[in-house]
Amino acid sequence: MIKIKFPDNSSQEYKEGITPIEIAEKIGKKLAQDAIAAKVDNELVDLNKKINKDSNLKIITFNDKEGKEIFRHSASHLMAQAIKNLYPDVKFAIGPAVDEGFYYDIDLDKKLTPEELEKIEKEMKKIVDEDIKLERQEISKDEALELFKDNPYKKEIINELEDEKISIYRQGNFADFCRGPHVLSTGKLKAFKLTKLAGAYWRGDAKNKQLQRIYGVAFPDEKQLKSYLKLLEEAEKRDHRKLGKELDLFSMHDEGPGFPFFHPKGAFIFRKLQSFWRDEHSKARYKEIITPMILNRKLWEQSGHWDHYKENMYFTKIDEDDYAIKPMNCPGGIIVYKEGIKSYRDLPLRMGEMGIVHRHELSGVLAGLFRVRCFTQDDAHIYMTEEQIKDEIIGVINLAEKFYDLFGFEYNIELSTRPENSMGSDEAWEKATDGLKDALDAKKIKYKINEGDGAFYGPKIDFHLKDCLGRTWQCGTIQLDFAMPEKFDLTYEGSDGKKHRPIMIHRTIYGSIERFMGILIEHYAGKFPLWLSPTQVTILNINDSHIPYGEKVKQELEKNNIRVETDFRGETMPKKVREAQLKKIPIILTVGDKEKENDAVAVRTLDGKLHFGIKTADLIDKIKTAVKQKSDKIIF
């Protein structure tokens, strides 16, 4: 008999060789139905994997992050089999799960169309009805090369693998090498939809052949699928790339893939987010610094980025020496800290930087402002004593809460622990992780632990924001670091007159201003609150005789630093109102005879409400009050 321990710390004895699915069936029919895979001693395995020793077991369902990923990855294999059935000459590249679904890159002479996606879906449904088993098999590298001898993409990946044994999954006439795990059979994959076609260069390199990429989503039942598709429809209306173009905020160009171009209105919002950040950080006693964008290779070797992050970095040569464009701000901030002797009286020392960083992202994952190659990170680094850890982390959490509450975001927190490719001692990692836990517990914040998902130099707290559609976005992060101060020999003089090692916090709140701005565009559907809106007011005239009065109102507003436009064209009033609404201008003023006589305006807000006979002076006071309070509403 073997002893199986469950997540609630209960345990049960079973016969040796029992499988996770058999255990799930003994626990309850519902759990067995919902089961997707299992975690045995922290290793993800198929549900039919035999357990031969005392183990910890967790049954993975679609409610788990890993469950969603496994389910979607299995759906990509389902789609691949359907494509293989319909187009036998197809060559498959990669087919991973992604945040919102899955995709597969394929090499096919035939150019697929949306109509063909419907055929593939029908074939997928047939395969689901057949309930074909997904069977795992381990083969040698030579056998794998023979199996995929006609597929240059698979062969290239296999040749790069160091393992002599390679796992493959078979279902019907389709096979792919894959770590797994997967669902037990295709019958589990009941609800799916192929959503779009795109082009993608093999391995994200424009020098390679362009493949066809098919995207899809998958859920355990039709109800969840329909709910998601409805959400997707609303999200498409709010797509920041579409609204960014319509509102003239930013654009993306082939001359700089992954490098956004901000137009005047977009640049205004960008700078407004920065100035708010600066104001709040100044109140919280941060000092702002600026560090160079290009730094010598030796610095990146010392920081560990050269060994742990090189594939994401850009490089150049200066005077025959190797340099890197910074992917992170911390090494530059550390150099600033090292200037001059620091005393315990100087700590905690909080230094912030709006640093522009560059990271190499594959072209296939670039997505508007959400995934770019150049972005502005609202970084800050706090240097402190061990005794100050808890209070400083609480201070960062409080500051983050202030930002997220202002923008109307709910959020949840995740604590990520030591990854495989980490640097630093076990003792340092334990201290750092306990420091983050202590601060969260002191704040009485519920949090989820992500085992092995920390940064290479320390554990981290991540803030996952929930927008108005219920989608979550990882933005702010707090990383506690014992390793960098050691690597760079950072010191401060203690009250005992001796040198001591400070502890370091890396933290962001926006994360990336570009990405945060993209999230805000979708969260607000382009209807920015008054303080953040590039244009706060537009003035419309009923006829030409009202233009002088409209100009007078404009001048009064501008004197009070209110951002105003006018539309005095000879178009109909409904057309001008509609165009102003499409521009998402918060306040639309109409001037006519009555307004001119009474030194007043008619006010229309974006929610469609009308307010007549509002005195210009009163309107100015209300706007200034709303802006000062950073409120998204004006009370009339």
Our answer to whether residue 305 is catalytic in this structure is: no
The answer to whether residues 90 and 120 touch, using CB atoms and an 8 Å cutoff, is no
Q: What digits encode the pLDDT tens for the residues 186-198?
A: 999 999 999 999 9
> Phi/psi of residue 487, each to 5°?
-60, -35
Going by pLDDT thresholds of 50, 70 and 90, the confidence category of residue 17 is very high
pLDDT of residue 429 exceeding 90, the answer is no
In the chain, the amino acid numbered 382 is: I
- Give the model's pLDDT for residue 286: 97
pLDDT band at 428 (very low <50, low <70, confident <90, very high): confident
**In 3D, which of 304, 272, 74 has the Cα closest to residue 176?**
74
Q: What's the 3-state SS for 124-145?
A: HHHHHHHCCECEEEEEEHHHHH
Q: What is the pLDDT of residues 60-84, one digit of tens each?
A: 999 998 999 999 999 999 999 999 9
Say whether pLDDT at 497 is over 90.
Answer: yes
- CATH numeric code, 66-238: 3.30.980.10
The verdict on whether 460 is a catalytic residue reads yes
Q: Where are the domains of the chain?
A: 2-61, 66-238, 265-524, 537-628
Measured N-to-C along each axis, helices 513-524 and 264-283 cross at an angle, to the nearest 10 degrees, of 110
Q: Are 167 and 138 in contact (CB under 8 A)?
A: yes
HEC sequence for 87-116: CCCCEECCCCEECCEEEEEEECCCCCCHHH
Q: Using the predicted structure, report yes or no on whether residue 404 has a pLDDT greater than 90.
A: yes
pLDDT at position 418: 87
pLDDT category, 365, cuts 50, 70, 90?
A: confident
Average pLDDT over residues 37-60: 93
The pLDDT, as a whole number, for residue 602 is: 96
Residue 424 pLDDT > 80 = no
Out of 281, 506, 546, 576, the active site residue is 506
CA distance 303 to 356: 18
Judge contact between 371 and 345, C-beta under 8 A: no
What is the pLDDT at residue 163? 76
Active site residue 377: yes
Mean pLDDT (the chain) is 92
At 500, the amino acid letter reads: H
The residue with tokens 């609800």 is: 191
Q: What's 497's DSSP letter?
A: S
Please give the structure tokens belonging to residue 153.
């993409």
Helix (H, G, I), strand (E, B) or coil at 331: helix
Cα distances from 230 to residues 97, 218, 225, 235, in angstroms, run: 21, 14, 9, 9
pLDDT category, 617, cuts 50, 70, 90? very high
Residue 455: pLDDT over 80? no
pLDDT at 632 over 80: no
Q: Give the 3-state secondary structure of 355-385.
A: EEEECCCCHHHCECCCECCEEEEEEEEEEEC
- 359, 515, 576, 596: which is the annotated catalytic residue? 359
d(CA 412, CA 465): 7
What confidence tens digit (pLDDT) does each residue in 469-482 have?
A: 888 888 999 988 88
Query: Mean pLDDT throughout 504-520?
Result: 95
pLDDT for the residue numbered 310: 87
Please choose, from the candidates 243, 217, 247, the residue with its C-alpha nearest in 3D space to the C-alpha of residue 230.
217
Q: Write down the residue that tokens 């340099």 correspond to.
A: 323
pLDDT of res. 220 = 93
Residue 540 pLDDT class (50, 70, 90 cuts) = very high
What residues contact residue 549 under an 8 Å CB cut-off, 6+ apart? 591, 595, 596
| Active site (annotated) includes residue 506 | yes
Name 39's Cβ contacts closer than 8 Å, sequence gap at least 6: 45, 56, 57, 58, 60, 66
Whether residue 387 is predicted with pLDDT greater than 80 in this model: the reply is: yes
CATH homologous superfamily, domain 265-524: Bira Bifunctional Protein; Domain 2 (3.30.930.10)
- Mean pLDDT computed over 230-238: 88
Q: How many residues does the chain have?
A: 636
Structure tokens that stand for 183 in this block: 């669902």
Distances (CA, A) of 524 to 334, 527, 573: 37, 5, 26
- Reported as a single tens digit per residue, the pLDDT across 95-139 is 999 877 999 999 999 999 989 999 999 999 999 999 999 999 999
What's phi and psi for 380, nearest 5 deg? -150, 150
Distance CA 372, CA 360 (A): 9
CA 618, CA 615: separation in Å to the nearest integer?
5
What pLDDT, on a 0 to 100 scale, did the predictor assign at position 343?
96
What is the Cα 584 distance to its own chain's centre?
26
Percent of residues, the chain, with pLDDT higher than 70: 100
pLDDT of 16 > 80? The answer is yes
Of 184, 180, 188, 185, the closest CA to residue 220 belongs to 188
User: Does position 521 have pLDDT exceeding 90, yes or no?
Assistant: yes
Query: For position 183, what pLDDT does the model report?
Result: 95
Q: How confident is the model at residue 207 (pLDDT cuts 50, 70, 90)?
A: confident
User: What was the pLDDT predicted at 77?
Assistant: 96
Its pTM surpasses 0.85: no
Is 569 annotated as catalytic?
no
46, 105, 379, 462: which one is catalytic? 379
Q: Which of 84, 342, 358, 381 is catalytic?
A: 381
Per-residue pLDDT reduced to its tens digit, 18-32: 999 999 999 999 999
Pairing of strands 587-591, 600-605: antiparallel
Which one of 330, 371, 418, 584 is the catalytic residue?
A: 330
User: Cα-atom radius of gyration of the chain, to the nearest Å?
Assistant: 29
Percent of the chain with pLDDT over 90: 76
CATH number of 2-61: 3.10.20.30, 1.10.20.140, 3.50.50.60, 3.40.228.10? 3.10.20.30
Count of CB atoms within 10 A of residue 26's CB?
12
Alpha-carbon distance of 525 to 238, in angstroms, equals: 5
Enumerate the β-bridge partners of residue 493.
Answer: 343, 499
Query: Model confidence at 364, in pLDDT bands (50, 70, 90)?
Result: confident
Residue 292 is predicted with a pLDDT of 96
Which pLDDT belongs to residue 480? 87
Of 255 and 100, the structure prediction assigns the larger pLDDT to 255
The answer to whether 469 and 234 have CB atoms below 8 angstroms apart is: yes
Out of 171, 212, 377, 536, which one is annotated catalytic?
377
- Total Cβ atoms within 10 A of residue 247: 22
Fold of 537-628: Rossmann fold (3.40.50)
Q: 624 pLDDT exceeds 80?
A: yes
